[in-house]
Amino acid sequence: MDKLKFFDANCSVGRTGNPHLYDIPDAAGLKREMEAAGVEEALVYHVIARDADPRLGNSRLMHEIQDYPELHPVWAVFPHHTGEMPPPSKLLPEMKALGVRAVRMFPTKALQSFSLADWCAGELLSALEWGRVPLILDAEVIPWEEVRGLLATYPRLPIVIANCNYRQNRFLYPLFEKFTNLFVELSWFMGGGAVEDVVQRFGSRPLLFGTNMPRYTGTAAVGLLCYADIDRKDKEAIAGGNLRQILGKVWP
Amino acid sequence: MNPDFERVHAGLPLGDVEIIDVHAHMGPYYNMHIPARDPARMVRIMDLCGIAKTVLSPSLSWDTDLVFANDLMRLAVAAHPGRLYGACAVSGNFPELSAAELERCFADPAVKMIKVHPAVSKCRLDDKRMNGIYEFAARRKSCILAHTWLDNDPYGNMDLFAGVAKNHPDIAWIMGHSGGPYGSRHAAELAAEVPNVYLDLTLSMCPARQVEFFVKEIGSERVMFGTDHPFLDPRPQVGRVALADISADDKANIFGKNARRLISFE
């Protein structure tokens, strides 16, 4: 049987100030980790875009991955009202021109200090929904009530919850029941039998392969999916098919 | 190319190596839905990824009744002989009860280890009420698995763990989680200093190249395969050891030989 083609929804480049063990600051390092795990493609954002400045980090990202067609850019964005970010009318055409098909946001006071509420991010979120541009949010910082609000308000906006730990099912399952624009990335979603349980209840649609490389190893998520007790077609969907389908609908 | 790459990606158990999980649990836990928490489903998952044996302690023991919890553990173990083994859960908060539990549980030959969780029980590893547990472990040559997490746990941080291990050199001490994802360097330093400390790979988020780092720093003979099953699915841990850039001998040590050296399964 052919090897699964893995498309990772959760990778980064850029030096972090507090690496666990090894400094893996660049795309070449990420590629080495991907090859060790057997991951072919990845959505990638830049650490500077998260921890310093989105525009600067996004620019660094495009430079860093320019020689790696298997690495696909993810921009960090936030609302334009301070002038630090272009308005959606300019930002989205820029993204489209540069092949950016996914974004991350780091809201809340603890991160980039903005709100996802309509009065602050409504214009940007509406534009992203129009473009079907998936929005990746870290589970650790977004209250589930807020996620629920986004899913309901922007039903054609794919929302990917990244770094979603294994203790979240009691929040997640009622949302899976109601919203088909909710997706969860696998890097931390590793409860015993969780993949089989989600697939049995909701199908493979909500799950996206992800690793959080190079900060964390990609080999763990690969092991989880390769040994999963689900049909081959579901494995293929989770490994990369679902993400490719989402990205294929961007810029309708 | 890693020789195990194709088997892992084909979803096939490794086959030529014995895998023994020394850090697992069973049963429910208050703050999470665990889809495959019952022992039969745990064994099914073990089969899928080639784990031969699992030593488990009961999750209920930490916050509630350790006697009832150990009963559940023994039922699970009895239902799956040769696959599931027990770690008797005890706590310094109940020194007399723990002593009785150790005698009771270890009368069952399928109970092989001792598990303590200082952070949840809020009883320090060096609390004198723990001494009876340590005396039993030394007498029965049982290893002790203790939860450790970062440096700021006042009950079971890594330095405390290493200090207690140093004071009880007759016991093999497994440093649960090796102090967590940010603890790897300090864990390796302590293990290098205290020869009866063993590092446990159990983690939900696994730092890149941690397996290789531990092997380089202290050798594979003191790195233990653990999973937190069923809190965590064990298959990611199989994947990350199998795909680590270490020798076949190192993998064999981590996957099972080290457990065989510490625990008699006969």
Structural domains for chain A: 6-247 (3.20.20.140)
pLDDT above 90: residue B227:
yes
Strand ranges of the sheet holding A135-138, from the earlier edge strand across to the other edge: A75-76, A103-104, A135-138, A159-162, A182-185, A207-208
CA distance B27 to chain A (A): 11
* Nearest CB partner across the interface for A37, out of B205, B230, B243: B243
Q: Is the pLDDT of residue B15 over 90?
A: no
Q: What is the pLDDT of residue B266?
A: 79
Interchain pair B238, A223: CB under 8 A: yes
Asked if A224's CB is within 8 angstroms of B36's CB, the reply is: no
Contact A187, A10 (CB under 8 A): yes
A interface test, pick of B243, B246, B251 with most A CB neighbours within 10 Å: B243
The pLDDT of residue A140: 83
Regions of chain A where pLDDT drops below 70: none
Check B41 against A193: CB less than 8 A apart. yes
> Do residues B36 and B230 make contact, with C-beta atoms less than 8 angstroms apart?
yes
Other residues' Cβ atoms within 10 Å of the Cβ of residue A25: 16
Q: Which residues of B touch A194 (CB under 8 A)?
A: 35, 233
Instruction: Find the residue in A nearest to B214 (Cα).
Output: A21
Site from A219, A229, A236 to mutate, B interface, most B CB atoms within 10 angstroms: A219
Closest-approach residue (CA) in chain A for B230: A192
- The 8-class DSSP code of residue B220 comes to G
Query: Tokens 């309708």 correspond to what residue?
Result: A252
Residue ranges per structural domain of chain B: 5-143+203-262
Residue B1 pLDDT grade (very low, low, confident, very high; cuts 50, 70, 90) = confident
**pLDDT exceeding 70 applies to what percent of chain B?**
100
Min distance A4 CA to chain B CA atoms (Å): 7
d(CA A7, CA A9): 6
CA distance A238 to chain B (A): 14
Output the furthest CA–CA distance in chain B (Å, rounded): 54
Q: Which is nearest to A209 in space by CA: A40, A27, A94? A: A40
Give the per-residue pLDDT at B140: 96
Residue B258 pLDDT greater than 90, yes or no: yes
Task: Give A219's contacts in chain B (Cβ within 8 Å).
Answer: 206, 236, 239-240, 242-244
pLDDT, tens only, B147-163: 999 878 999 999 999 99
| Whole-number pLDDT of residue B152 | 82
* B61 pLDDT more than 90: no
How distant is the Cα of B249 from the closest Cα of chain A, in angstroms?
A: 19
- pLDDT value of position A22: 94
pLDDT for B62: 83
The pLDDT assigned to A1 comes to 79
Contacts of A216 in chain B (CB under 8 A): 181, 205-208
Q: What is the mean pLDDT of chain B?
A: 96
Minimal CA separation from A188 to chain B, in Å: 6
B49 confidence band (pLDDT: 50, 70, 90)? very high
* The residue type at B184: S
- Write the residue in A37, A169, A224 that is nearest to B235 by C-beta: A224
Which of B42, B209, B234 is the closest to A22 by Cβ?
Answer: B209
For residues B58 and B25, the answer to whether their CB atoms sit within 8 Å is yes
B150 touches chain A (CB under 8 A): no
Q: Select B5-143+203-262's CATH number: 3.40.50.1100, 3.40.50.300, 1.10.260.40, 3.20.20.140.
A: 3.20.20.140
pLDDT level of residue B133 (50, 70, 90 thresholds)? very high
ipTM for the predicted complex comes to 0.96
- Among the listed residues B190, B241, B234, the one whose alpha carbon sits nearest the alpha carbon of residue B84: B234
pLDDT, tens only, B79-97: 999 999 999 999 999 999 9
Residue in B closest to A213 by C-alpha: B208
Model pLDDT, residue B187: 97
The Cα B40–Cα A211 span in angstroms is 29
Nearest residue of chain B to residue A24 (CA atoms): B208
Residue B151's pLDDT is 78
